[in-house]
């Protein structure tokens, strides 16, 4: 038809069709950074809160939180979708759809917050906490069929437990706590998150990688050369700020003038590595590996904004014979960590991506290396600032998923002091018993 605007010249232009264009926001192709985690398990986080007077009853609180969750998913929409695979064997993986997250309500009204959040949290409390978080034992591969986010609200005697399970193929720790803080903001009445997520995976890596997926989690686990997983126990060791400062000072005491000082993370990491190696009673020639899952947002060239929503982590490894690790001074271990982390620059990140894309692999925990101590999470995550409108959490913990022998999660100290660090550690039972009796480790931890 012709455009009639009163101008005879316009009759020369004919409109042949109209359409409405909307952004294709619901489809996100998983980047190379995401794919190694498809055979890990849902990342589980547990936040324990007291409910003060005036907060409302459990149903009122959970209704507000569920409403805010729906609002948060509008911004963090990959968590509302499902993982899909392009047609054909070995197709690329992507997130699509708006099916939503799963929300569960439960009750444990005979259990108090202190029973779970206290310093004397024993084996029974540890087992109970695992019932407060959904999707235990669920591999990220299940995101092809299950929600990518599951939340469980559990009514406690004097509070609420908020258990969350996130599909690790979709996001890392930085993105997890970005989402959690944004959800809490909306629950407190904010019109929008103060920091909006960036969903453009091409900012990190634009290469499309196909994977041949296993038929099931069980089928993949059967291919682990180390066999079935061994029983583990988890404990939390609290290091107040003065103790962290003393560990850091000891690691830096013998450094020559002009040498780069060790950070609190490097010093504490070296202390944990040495202590766990003693508890394992390793022989002098036994190799032990330290791995840290490093955030690569600032390491890329150009850097990627902190609000990038996805996985942007890589494991950085360093290994040494146990005799050298334990026979040397603390600065030896701290120096190895400093060197490995410092050398993981943009070129090293790119080499790792190139290697993976040339030969994609489905990982097992044993790929972390022998006698491993692996650090995930970070004391820099502001986990105790996640306030849904009724105060800070009394304790933040990780669930049983992705806890292999030597896995460590670091959190800021629950007391609120700026330099304190809580160490959540999983070990086999006998080494854990020895660690709990290690005077050198406990004197430092308890001082």
The model's pLDDT over 242-293, given as tens digits with 9 standing for 90+, comes to: 999 999 999 999 999 999 999 999 999 999 999 999 999 999 999 999 999 9
Number of H helices, E strands in the chain: 12, 14
Query: Catalytic residues, which ones?
Result: 168, 387
In whole angstroms, what is the distance from residue 94 CA to residue 27 CA? 7
Query: pLDDT band for position 126 (50/70/90)?
Result: confident
Please check whether residues 258 and 210 belong to one and the same domain: no
- With CA atoms as reference, report the closest residue to 78 among 18, 5, 21, 147: 147
**174-200 mean pLDDT:** 98
The yes-or-no verdict on residue 61 having pLDDT over 80 is: yes
pLDDT in tens, 222-253: 999 887 888 999 999 999 999 999 999 999 99
Please check whether residues 170 and 298 belong to one and the same domain: no
Q: Is 317 within a domain?
A: yes
Please check whether residues 155 and 264 belong to one and the same domain: no
Please provide residue 77's backbone torsions phi and psi, each rounded to the nearest 5 degrees: -65, -25
pLDDT at 16: 65
- With CA atoms as reference, report the closest residue to 38 among 130, 148, 177, 197: 148
pLDDT at 118: 77
Please provide residue 151's backbone torsions phi and psi, each rounded to the nearest 5 degrees: -125, 135
pLDDT at 444: 53
Please check whether residues 290 and 432 belong to one and the same domain: yes
Please check whether residues 424 and 295 belong to one and the same domain: yes
Sequential DSSP letters for 340-365: HHHT--HHHHHHHHHHHHHS-----G
**Going by DSSP bridges, is the β-strand pair 102-108/149-156 parallel, antiparallel, or unpaired?**
parallel
The token pair that represents 393 in the structure block: 């959490």
The yes-or-no verdict on residue 386 having pLDDT over 90 is: yes
Which of the listed residues 197, 220, 243 is the one where a domain comes to its end? 220
Query: pLDDT band for position 446 (50/70/90)?
Result: very low
Tell me how many domains the chain contains.
Answer: 2
Domain assignment of residue 264, given as a range = 225-436
pLDDT in tens, 202-213: 999 999 999 999
In whole angstroms, what is the distance from residue 214 CA to residue 311 CA? 21
The yes-or-no verdict on residue 134 having pLDDT over 90 is: yes
Q: Is 445 within a domain?
A: no
> Which domain CATH number covers 140?
3.30.559.10
pLDDT at 447: 47
In a 13 Å sphere around the CA of 234, the CA atoms on its Cβ side amount to 22
Burial 263-301 (b: 16+ CB within 10 A, else e): bbbbbbbbbbbbbbbbbbebeeeeebbbbbbbbbbebbe
Please check whether residues 311 and 374 belong to one and the same domain: yes
The token pair that represents 231 in the structure block: 């029983």
């Amino acid at each position: 038809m012709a455009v009639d605007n009163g101008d005879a010249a316009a009759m020369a232009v004919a409109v042949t069709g109209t359409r409405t264009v909307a952004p294709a926001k619901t489809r996100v192709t998983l980047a190379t950074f995401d794919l190694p985690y498809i055979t890990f398990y849902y990342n589980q986080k547990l936040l324990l809160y007291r409910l003060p007077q005036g907060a409302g009853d459990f149903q009122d609180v959970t209704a507000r939180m569920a409403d805010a969750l729906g609002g948060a998913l509008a911004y963090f929409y990959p968590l509302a979708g499902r993982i899909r695979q392009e047609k054909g064997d070995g197709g690329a993986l992507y997130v699509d759809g708006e099916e939503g997250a799963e929300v569960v309500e439960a009750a444990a009204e005979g259990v108090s917050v202190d029973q779970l959040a206290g310093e004397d949290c024993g084996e029974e409390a540890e087992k109970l906490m695992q019932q407060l978080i959904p999707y235990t034992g669920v591999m990220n591969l299940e995101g092809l069929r299950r929600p990518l986010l599951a939340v469980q609200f559990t009514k406690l005697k004097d509070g609420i437990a908020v258990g969350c399970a996130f599909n690790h193929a979709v996001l890392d720790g930085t993105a997890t706590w970005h989402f959690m803080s944004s959800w809490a903001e909306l629950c407190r009445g904010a019109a929008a998150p103060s920091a909006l997520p960036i969903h453009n995976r091409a900012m990190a890596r634009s290469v499309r990688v196909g994977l041949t997926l296993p038929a099931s989690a069980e089928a993949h686990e059967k291919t682990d050369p180390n066999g079935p997983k061994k029983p583990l126990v988890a404990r939390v060791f609290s290091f107040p700020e003065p103790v962290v400062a003393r560990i850091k000072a000891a690691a830096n005491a013998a450094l020559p003038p002009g040498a780069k000082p060790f950070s609190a993370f490097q010093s504490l990491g070296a202390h944990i590595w040495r202590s766990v190696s003693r508890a394992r009673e390793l022989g002098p020639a036994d190799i032990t590996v330290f791995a840290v899952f490093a955030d690569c947002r600032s390491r890329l060239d150009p850097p990627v904004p902190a609000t990038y929503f996805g996985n942007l982590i890589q494991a950085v490894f360093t290994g040494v014979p146990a005799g050298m690790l334990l026979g040397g001074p603390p600065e030896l271990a701290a120096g190895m960590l400093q060197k490995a982390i410092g050398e993981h620059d943009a070129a090293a990140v790119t080499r790792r991506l190139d290697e993976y894309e040339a030969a994609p692999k489905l990982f097992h925990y044993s790929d972390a290396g022998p006698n491993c101590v692996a650090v995930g999470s970070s004391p820099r995550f502001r986990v105790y600032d996640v306030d849904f409108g009724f105060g800070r959490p009394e304790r933040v913990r990780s669930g049983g998923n992705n806890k292999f022998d030597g896995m460590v999660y670091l959190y800021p100290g629950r007391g609120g002091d700026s330099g304190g660090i809580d160490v959540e550690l999983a070990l086999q039972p006998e080494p854990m018993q020895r660690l709990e009796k290690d005077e050198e480790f406990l004197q430092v931890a308890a001082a």
